Structure 1
Amino acid sequence: MDGQRLLSNQETFALGFFNPGSSSHRYVGIWFNQIAEKTIVWVANRNTPLNDTSGVLSINGKGNLVLHTQNQTTPIWSTNVSFFVSSTNNSMAKLLDIGNLVLVQQDSQRVTWQSFDYPTNTLLPFMKLGLDRRTGLNRFLTSWKSKDNPRIGNYSFRLVPTGYPQLSLYIGQSLLFRLGSWTGITWSGAPRIASNYFKVSFVNNQDETTIMYSIRSNLPTKVIVKMVVDESGIVQRSLWQETTWVDYWSGPQALCDKYLNCGPNSYCDPHNMVSFECKCFPGFEPKSSRDCIREKQGVSMCNNGEGFVKLAYMKVPDTSIAHADMSLSMKECEQKCLRNCSCMAYASANETEGGIGCLTWQGDLVDTRTFPDGGQDLYIRVDAVVLAQYAKKNGLTQKKRMLAILGVSVAVMLLLIVSVVYCFVMKKKKGKETRHSTYSDSADSTLPYFEDSPSRRDLDGTRRNPNFPLFNLRTIIVATDNFSIANKLGQGGFGPVYKGLLQNGMEIAVKRLSKCSGQGIEQFKMESALIAKLQHRNLVRILGCCIHKEEKMLIYEYLPNKSLDFFIFDETKRSCLDWEKRFEIICGIGRGILYLHQDSRLRIIHRDLKASNVLLDNALNPKISDFGMARIVGGDQIEANTNRIVGTYAQRAIFDHFMLRFNIILFIYAMQGIFSIKSDVYSFGVLLLEIIIGKRNSTYHHDGPSSNLIGHVWDLWREDNSMKIVDPLLDETYPANEVSRCIQIGLLCVQEHATDRPTMSTVVFMLGNDTPLPSPKRPAFILKGTYNSTDRSTSATSNSINEITLSKIDGR
Structure 2
Amino acid sequence: MNPNGSPQIFLYKGSTPWWRSGAWTGQRWSGIPQMTQNFIFKDTFVNTGYEVSFSSDVRNSSITSRTLVKETGVLQRETWNNEAQRWIVFYSAPTERCDFYGYCGPNGYCNPYLAGALECTCFPGFQPKSPEGWFIGDSAGGCVRKRGVSMCGNGEGFVKFPHAKVPDTSAAVVNMSIGLNQCKEKCLRNCSCMAYASANSETGRGIGCLTWHGDLMDARKYTYTGQDLYIRVDKNEIARYTKKGLLHNRGVLAIIIVSLAVVLLILIALSRCFLRRQRRAGRARKSKNIFSFTSFKDSLGEKEIDESRRNGDLPYFDLGTIAAATNNFSSDNKLGQGGFGPVYKGVLLNGQEIAVKRLSNSSSQGLQELKNEIVLIAKLQHRNLVRILGCCVEGEEKMLVYEFLPNKSLDFIIFDDSKRSLLDWKKRLEIICGIARGMLYLHHDSRLRVIHRDLKASNVLLDDAMNPKISDFGMARIFGGDQMEGDTRRVVGTYGYMSPEYAMHGHFSMKSDVYSFGVLLLEIITGKKNSSYFPNSPSLNMVGHVWELWKEEKAMEVVYSSLADSYSTDEILKCIQIGLLCVQECATNRPTMLTVVFMLSNETTLPSPEQPAIIAKKIHKSDEISISGGTKSINEVTLTMIDAR
Distance 1:165 1:636 in 2: 18
Give the deviation of 1:564 after TM superposition: 0.8
Correspondence 1:521-670 to 2 at 5 A: 521=367, 524-651=370-497, 669=504
Deviation at 1:530, TM superposition (A): 1.4
Deviation at 1:155, TM superposition (A): 6.1
Q: Which of 673, 687, 699 does residue 520 from structure 2 map onto?
A: 687
What is the match of residue 348 of structure 1?
none
> 2:579: which partner in 1?
746
Corresponding residue pairs, total: 425
Q: Aligned residue for 2:319?
A: 473
> C-alpha separation between the residues in 2 aligned to 1:721 and 1:538?
33
d(CA) in 2 for partners of 1:222 and 1:714?
39
CA displacement, residues 231-288 of structure 1 (integer Å, 9 cap, x when unaligned):
xxxxxxxx977759xxxxxxxxxxxxxxxxxxxxxxxxxxxxxxxxxxxxxxxxxxxx
| 1:338-357 to 2 correspondences below 5 Å | none
Counterpart for residue 33 of structure 2: none
Contact 1:593 1:760 in 2 (8 A): yes
> Residues of 2 paired with 1:41 and 1:218: CA distance?
34
**Alignment correspondent of 1:778:** 611
Question: How many Å separate the matches in 2 of 1:527 and 1:191?
Answer: 32
SS in 1 for 2:469: strand
> Cα–Cα, structure 1 residues 161 and 626, in superposed 2: closer, same or farther, change >3 Å?
closer
Shift of 1:767: 0.6
Aligned match of 2:266: none
Q: Is the 8 A contact 1:781 1:806 kept in 2?
A: yes
Q: Secondary structure at the match of 1:777?
A: coil
| Other-structure match for 1:115 | 52
TM-score (ref. length: structure 1): 0.46
Q: SS at the partner of 1:651?
A: coil
Paired position in structure 1 for 2:569: 736
Question: What whole-Å deviation, never above 9, does each CA across 1:621-672 have from its counterpart, x for those lacking one?
Answer: 1111111111222222122233322111233899xxxxxxxxxx99x83xx5
Which residue of structure 2 lines up, in the alignment, with residue 483 of structure 1? 329
Structure ID, larger Rg? 1
Report which of the two has the higher share of strand: 1
Q: Corresponding residue for 2:589? A: 756
CA shift, 1:509, in A, is: 1.1
The separation in 2 between residues aligned to 1:481 and 1:176, in whole angstroms, is: 49
Partner SS for 1:738: helix
* Distance (Å, rounded) in 2 between the aligned partners of 1:165 and 1:595: 22
Matches within 5 A, 1:97-116: 100-101=47-48, 103=50, 114-116=51-53
Match of 1:500 among 346, 357, 376: 346
Q: Tell me how far apart the structure 2 counterparts of residues 191 and 568 of structure 1 sit (CA, whole Å).
A: 43
Letter in 2 for 1:442: N
Classify the secondary structure of the residue corresponding to 1:433: helix
What is the match of residue 643 of structure 2? 806
- Structure 2, unmatched stretches of 5+, are 9-23, 30-36, 103-119, 124-160, 167-199, 206-272, 295-308, 619-639
Shift in CA distance, 441/528, structure 1 to aligned 2, threshold 3 Å: same
**1:522 shift after superposition:** 6.1
Aligned partner of residue 423 in structure 2, secondary structure:
coil
Overall identity of the aligned pairs, in %: 52
Letter in 2 for 1:603: R
Separation in 2, partners of 1:217, 1:10: 26
Deviation at 1:153, TM superposition (A): 9.9
Q: Secondary structure at the residue paired with 2:497?
A: helix
SS of the residue corresponding to residue 594 of structure 1 reads helix
**Matches of 1:677 and 1:767, distance apart in 2:** 18
SS state at 1:552 partner = strand
Equivalent residue for 2:289, pick from 442, 447, 451 = 442
Cα distance in 1, alignment partners of residues 291 and 600 from structure 2:
50
Structure having greater relative contact order (Cα 8 Å, sep ≥ 6): 2
2 CA distance for matches of 1:524 and 1:241? 38
Separation of aligned partners in 2, 1:519 and 1:760: 29
For residues 583 and 490 of structure 2, what CA distance do their matches in structure 1 show?
23
- Partner Cα separation in structure 2 for residue 165 and residue 673 of structure 1: 37
Answer whether contact 1:12 1:33 (CA < 8 A) is retained: no
Looking at structure 2, the residues matched to 160 and 731 of structure 1 have their Cα atoms a distance apart, in angstroms, of 49
Query: 1 or 2, which has the higher helix percentage?
Result: 2
Question: Structure 1 residue 744: deviation in Å?
Answer: 0.5
Q: Matched residues in 2 for 1:513 and 1:529: separation?
A: 17
Q: How many Å separate the matches in 1 of 2:96 and 2:393?
A: 36
The whole-number CA distance in structure 2 between the counterparts of 1:753 and 1:12 is: 31
Task: Assess, with a 3 A threshold, how the Cα gap between structure 1 residues 807 and 677 changes in structure 2: closer, same or farther.
Answer: farther
CA distance change for structure 1 residues 759 and 517 in 2, over 3 Å: closer, same or farther? same
- Distance in 1, matches of 2:278 and 2:480, equals 41
Q: 2:332, 2:506 → 1: CA distance?
A: 38
> Which SS does the other structure have where 1:650 is aligned?
coil
Contact 2:407–2:462, Cα closer than 8 Å, also in 1? yes
Matched letter for residue 290 of structure 2 = A
> C-alpha distance in 1, partners of 2:27/2:384?
43
1:559–1:243 Cα change, 3 Å: farther
Letter in 2 for 1:443: I
For residues 115 and 633 of structure 1, the distance between their equivalents in structure 2, rounded to whole angstroms, comes to 35
- Contact kept, 8 Å, 2:426 with 2:566, in 1: the verdict is no
